[in-house]
Amino acid sequence: MQPTGTGALHIGNLEGALRNWVRLQYDYEMFCCVVDWHALTTMFDRTEEIGPAARQTAADYIAGGLDPQRCAIFLQSHVPQHAELHLLLSMVTPVGWLERVPTYKEKRESLKLNDEQVSYGLLGYPVLQTADILLYRAHAVPVGKDQAAHLEISREIARRFNRLYGEVFPEPAAVIDAATAVIPGLDGRKMSKSYDNAIFLSDSADVVAAKVNSAFTTETKLRKTDPGIPETCVVCQLRKVYDPEGYQTSWEEDRRGERGCMQSKRELTEILNEALEPIRRRRTELLADPAQLEAILKLGAQKASDAASETMKAVRTAMKMY
Ligand code: ADP
């Protein structure tokens, strides 16, 4: 994940991605990178924020359940082979492929960027992302439902490299966890750092309460006795994720106009805070002990670098660049 903003993850990242990584770490050899160079595409003019933000993201990986002894947890910039492979892959990637990537087009349009404002790095983002994956000769990449398409270009670049120089890279397959839901943000849109609608793992219990209080419910439910529509109510949707056993009763009451939104919000706050409290405590401990966190990141970078060196040896041999 990219350490943009403060670097703290939100509950969409937690439920839509991290929980799945935590499950996968028992069955796969995993490389969990905080991609701080990618954050430069938007934070190039405030680079001093990226280092601290990357530590927040790493702390959230661990607080959310990734075990630094089991998988490699590291920063992209601590393993410079990401840059070397990016350069080599950039030579075999047609610009046309990059210009057609939907996220590139979306970003250009939503940020209203003209030709002068689009950096070479923003266009090349998928090439760096491909290097991040191929550097570990990964067979599988866990992605959210919304992200499966992002992997297509990585597969194409891997195919092209293999055709030109011989089989070095497996084609990485997307591992999509069917159980993960898209978590709605407080305003009903998808929860995202960039929409200002997120509940962060760094939010205190009081901040969570205030945010849940501000969440959209059912527009036509003005009084307690008006029927709600749980399927489109943010509070009901979050309740379903965090109270999978018990949410149905509250949904039925909501539908029948037997409960007010304030009650639903109070209950959700309690359920959420109970689930998030251990994560909050762990992330605070980790961030309070920078030496320990740096040691974890160093260990991760060492594991990653060992694998990366092997791959780069194979790449240089295949390309006959000694
Ligand atoms: P953001 O939109 O907040 O910047 P990213 O696009 O960096 O989040 O996503 C990081 C990871 O978290 C991805 O695997 C993505 O699929 C997942 N993710 C992000 N937002 C959500 C959400 N609202 N619901 C479920 N998963 C999400």
pLDDT tens digit string along 121-148? Answer: 999 999 999 999 999 999 999 987 767 7
Q: Which two tokens stand for residue 287?
A: 């961030």
CA distance 304 to 123: 26
Give residue ranges with CB within 6 A of ligand 1.
1-2, 12-13, 16-17, 143-144, 146-147, 182-183, 190-194
Q: Which two tokens stand for residue 137?
A: 């000769």
Mean pLDDT score of the chain, rounded to an integer? 95
CA distance 174 to 259: 42
Average pLDDT on 247-268 reads: 97
Closest CA to 274 of 232, 293, 246, 255: 246
pTM attached to this predicted model:
0.95
In the chain, % of residues over pLDDT 70: 99
- Cite the active site residues: 107, 190, 193
Which of helix, strand or coil describes residue 240?
helix
Atom of ligand 1 lying closest to residue 143 CA: 14
pLDDT tens digit string along 65-110? Answer: 999 999 999 999 999 999 999 999 999 999 999 999 888 888 888 8
Average pLDDT on 7-13 reads: 97
Residue ranges, comma separated, of all CATH 1.10.240.10 domains in the chain are 203-283
Q: Which CATH architecture has domain 203-283?
A: Orthogonal Bundle (1.10)
Residue nearest to atom 4 of ligand 1 (CA): 193
For CA atoms 27, 240, 211, 277, give the dihedral sign.
negative
Which of helix, strand or coil describes residue 75?
strand
- Which residue has 């961030």 as its token pair? 287
Q: What angle do CA 53, 239, 231 make, to 5 degrees?
A: 110
Average pLDDT on 281-302 reads: 98
Residue nearest to atom 20 of ligand 1 (CA): 12
Q: Which two tokens stand for residue 20?
A: 């799945």
pLDDT tens digit string along 12-63? Answer: 999 999 999 999 999 999 999 999 999 999 899 999 999 999 999 999 999 9
C-beta of residue 135 within 8 angstroms of C-beta of residue 86: no
Q: 174 — alpha (psi -120 to 50), left (phi > 0) or beta? A: beta
Considering the four listed CATH numbers 3.30.70.1520, 3.40.50.620, 3.30.70.141, 3.40.50.1100, the one that applies to the domain covering 11-182+289-319 is 3.40.50.620
What is the whole-number distance in angstroms between the Cα of residue 122 and the centre of ligand 1?
Answer: 19
Residue ranges, comma separated, of all CATH 3.40.50.620 domains in the chain are 11-182+289-319
- For residue 146, the model assigns a pLDDT of 67
C-beta of residue 268 within 8 angstroms of C-beta of residue 239: yes
What is the whole-number distance in angstroms between the Cα of residue 257 and the centre of ligand 1?
Answer: 33
C-beta of residue 115 within 8 angstroms of C-beta of residue 187: no
What is the whole-number distance in angstroms between the Cα of residue 13 and the centre of ligand 1?
Answer: 5
Neighbours of 27 (CB within 10 A): 7
CA distance 199 to 209: 10
CA distance 163 to 238: 47
pLDDT tens digit string along 202-226? Answer: 999 999 999 999 999 999 999 999 9
